[in-house]
Amino acid sequence: MRAMGYGGAIGLATAAIKLFGPWSEPHPGLAIAKELIGAALAFAVLCGVAAALRNFIRRRLGAKIR
């Protein structure tokens, strides 16, 4: 759960930088909300799956090492 929270925060930060950076043209409010929410969810799922895979592999290798 912690990895998903961190992933969501990273996604939110990257979308905000992309949308509000000086190189970006102005966007309507709904497009900003969609972009922020979509990026936060995508990064949260990505980090959650990566953490679950890491835990799975760690358990498998840990059982064989002992």
Segment 2-45, tens digit of pLDDT = 999 999 999 999 999 988 888 878 888 898 999 999 999 999 99
Predicted local distance difference test score (pLDDT) of residue 36? 94
Q: DSSP states of 49-60 as a string?
A: HHHHHHHHHHHH
Predicted local distance difference test score (pLDDT) of residue 63? 66
Distance (Å, whole) CA 4 – CA 10? 10
Q: pTM here?
A: 0.80
Predicted local distance difference test score (pLDDT) of residue 62? 79
50, pLDDT greater than 80: yes
Distance (Å, whole) CA 53 – CA 30? 34
